[in-house]
Amino acid sequence: MEEKRFVFSSVISDFIEEIKKEFEESKPEDPMQWFRDALKRHCMVKEEEAEKVAGELLEGIRYYRKIKGLVNPLEEFKDKITEEDIKALKDETELLKARISEEA
């Protein structure tokens, strides 16, 4: 299972490299238009859906930044996130931290 995940991470890492290279080479004047076009090219999003999907994804980016600005996000939303959720998250994050900090 761990091996499979590692392979997937490697492929996603290749996606990031490919798309980043494409962005840099195209030097888009309008990055938001580039984003909508990239959704169609890379993610099989249809022309008529691109605007809506792009809007959702951009809202996600903005919402992450908003939550990041909170002092204690878990405390703010304790009605939605249980102690069990937090424990599962911590266990997973410990494994992850060890993996990331090695060889970095």
Answer yes or no whether residue 13 interacts with another protein by CB under 8 A. Answer: yes
Close Cβ partners of 86 (under 8 Å, ≥ 6 residues apart): 74
Positions 34 through 53 that interact with another protein (CB under 8 A): 34-35, 38-39, 42-44, 53
Which letter, b or e, does each residue of 7-41 get, where b requires 16 or more Cβ atoms within 10 Å of its Cβ? eeeeeeeeeeeeeeeeeeeeeeeeeeebebbbbee
CB of 48 to another protein, least distance (A): 15
CA dist 99 and 104 (Å) reads 9
Q: Give the residue, chosen from 3, 47, 65, 83, that forms a contact with another protein under the rule CB under 8 A.
A: 65
Residues in contact with another protein by CB under 8 A are: 5-6, 8-13, 15-17, 19-20, 23-24, 30-32, 34-35, 38-39, 42-44, 53, 56-65, 67-68, 73-74, 76-77, 80-81, 85, 88-89, 91-93, 95-97, 99-101, 103-104
